[in-house]
């Protein structure tokens, strides 16, 4: 299991609330069968998709095999056409604590 955070942000004028083209794209993404998309891009599971509308940001957390395929998903799906997207490897907090404890041994 490899966890990744997909962080994104856009400008106010690109926000789907204010931009008809981007709104239509986001609705289309929301109605899409993600099983096929995930399989194609070796995403084992979408842990969560969180958005802050008035901050114009989002965070998706996925269990995936290859961050380059996540990048491809963002480009092919259109999300990268109006968002800055950052893909970051994540580990669970408990694993950080374990790592820190081992540093002092």
Which backbone phi and psi does 61 adopt, to 5 degrees? -115, 125
pTM of the full structure? 0.85
CA 25 from centre of chain? 16
Tell me what pLDDT residue 7 has: 97
* DSSP bridge pairs for 84: 9
Q: What is the pLDDT of residue 97?
A: 94
Whether the CB-CB separation of 5 and 88 falls below 8 Å is answered with: yes
Residue 59, CA distances (Å) to 23, 25, 37, 100, 101 in order:
18, 18, 18, 26, 29
Region 35-48: mean pLDDT is 91
Is CATH 3.40.50.300 the right assignment for the domain spanning 3-103? no
Joined tokens for residue 70: 């996540």
For the stretch 1-26, pLDDT in tens is 799 999 999 999 999 999 999 999 99
Domain ranges for the chain, please list them: 3-103
Q: What is the pLDDT of residues 54-92, one digit of tens each?
A: 999 999 999 999 999 999 999 988 899 999 999 999 999
């Amino acid at each position: 299991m490899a966890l990744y955070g997909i962080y994104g942000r856009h400008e106010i004028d690109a926000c789907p609330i204010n931009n008809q083209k981007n709104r239509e794209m986001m609705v289309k993404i929301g109605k899409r069968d993600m099983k096929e998309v995930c399989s194609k891009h070796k995403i084992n599971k979408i842990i969560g998709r969180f958005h802050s509308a008035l901050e114009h940001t989002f965070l998706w957390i996925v269990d995936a095999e290859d961050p380059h395929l996540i990048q491809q998903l963002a480009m092919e799906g259109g999300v990268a056409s109006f968002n800055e997207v950052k893909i970051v490897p994540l580990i669970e907090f408990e694993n950080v604590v374990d790592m820190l404890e081992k540093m002092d041994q």
